[in-house]
Amino acid sequence: MKQKSLMKRITGSREALLAIVLIVLFVIVTAISPSFLTPKSLMDMLKNNAVMMVMALGMLCVMLVGGIDISIMSTLALSGMAIGMMLKYDVIANPVLAFVIAIVIGIACGFVVGLVISRADVPPIIATMGFMYIYRAMGYLISNGGEWASAAALGSFKDFATTNLLGINCVIWVIVVCYAFFFWFMKWTRTGRKIYAVGSNAEAAEVSGINVKNIKLLVYVIMGLLSGLGGALQVSVYASAMPDMQYGGEMDVIAACVIGGVSMNGGRGTVLGALLGSLILATIARALPLIPFFNQLWLNTIKGVIILAVVIINIVLQRAADRNALKGREM
């Protein structure tokens, strides 16, 4: 009975299933290339996917209230390009100040997006599509029509991505701090619980005294903040700032959340799920180049298959859970 109960608990938990999938992936990739499971290789994988992993936390918040944001990589490009040009032309030199400026720009972008969605009731997909083009164009304007900042122009700012603290790369510390904070924020704060409440039933949340419009505004501000942080990380990790950086990368962020079990309808999803979804995508991206006949088409194809499979599994599991809950109420 205990074994059955344990198996039921595992198969009924999205996070447990995702953890099993991740372990299986690690075993397969290590069998293909033993060098994969080394500290340096794993740290490189995390560093190269830091932008997606950090921004998945913001997308989690947005999707929990039933929203979506496809303007995030344009915000990233705008904030990253802004500090890149400031560093290039010696407007600023302090790396900490560069991070702060990128984050402030991201917050401003997220605030405008959230204002349009929460106050004007514009559908999120339409609003963020419009801002996706606007912010990307602003990034090009800042770059003087396509100019970019190279490693030599970034000074000490690029050193952040190559510096270790207690034997761990600083970029990875950013990931750790972000996930630790959001785990606490979503689970143990009133605001975190309000985000879940709005996503589960906005009308009921309004009746219970929650300002739904403010919560919707807040999640887009959070998304903007993390997009700005992502812009700074992008520039530091790749030691360059270009107006077209991370073009199309918003799909990976959304995919990480969907794979992690975050519902597109809102109300369901966890920080742990977003982490596991991000790690699965990061592992696949790291593993495929190790296969002799690999090309980029395979990566995109596999991502698409995984997203479809996970969405179908999530729907099946949710329907099963709803049926069980209904039977429990009837009994």
Per-residue pLDDT tens over the stretch 181-227? 999 999 999 999 999 999 988 899 999 999 999 999 999 999 999 99
Q: Which two tokens stand for residue 157?
A: 């700012």
Phi (first) and psi of residue 165, to 5 degrees: -125, 120
Q: Looking at residue 231, what is its pLDDT? A: 94
| Arithmetic mean of pLDDT, 107-135 | 95
pLDDT tier, 133 (very low <50, low <70, confident <90, very high otherwise): very high
Cβ atoms of residues 63 and 262 within 8 Å: yes
Residues in a beta bridge with 165: 168
pLDDT score of 320 more than 80: no
Out of 11-20, 124-133, 264-273, give the one with best mean pLDDT.
124-133
Per-residue pLDDT for 117 more than 90?
yes
Between the two ends of the chain, the Cα-to-Cα distance in Å is 22
Q: In this structure, which amino acid lies at residue 281?
A: L
Query: Mean pLDDT over residues 42-70, rounded?
Result: 94
Per-residue pLDDT band for 159 (boundaries 50, 70, 90) equals confident
- Looking at residue 180, its pLDDT comes to 96
Specify the pLDDT at position 322.
63
Q: What's the whole-number mean pLDDT along residues 110-139?
A: 94
DSSP three-state, residue 164: strand
Classify residue 299 by burial, with Cβ atoms within 10 Å: 0-12, 13-18, 19+: middle
What pLDDT band is residue 296 in, cutting at 50, 70 and 90?
low
The burial class, CB within 10 Å (0-12 / 13-18 / 19+), for 63 is buried
pLDDT class of 232 with cuts at 50, 70, 90: very high
Q: Given a cut of 70, is residue 291 above it in pLDDT?
A: no
Res. 306 pLDDT band, cuts 50 70 90? confident
90-94, 107-111, 167-171: range with lowest mean pLDDT: 90-94
Give Cα 209 to chain centroid, integer Å. Answer: 30
pLDDT for residue 321 is more than 70: no
Please provide residue 169's backbone torsions phi and psi, each rounded to the nearest 5 degrees: -60, 140
- Supply the pLDDT for residue 1: 43
Q: State the pLDDT at residue 185.
A: 95
Rg (CA), the chain: 21
In terms of pTM, does the model score above 0.85? yes
Q: Give the C-alpha separation, 288 to 257, whole Å.
A: 21
Mean pLDDT of the chain: 86
Identify the weakest region by mean pLDDT among 252-256, 280-284, 317-321: 317-321
| Region of residue 75 (left: phi > 0; alpha: psi -120 to 50; beta: else) | alpha
How many residues can be counted in the chain?
331
pLDDT band at 8 (very low <50, low <70, confident <90, very high): very low
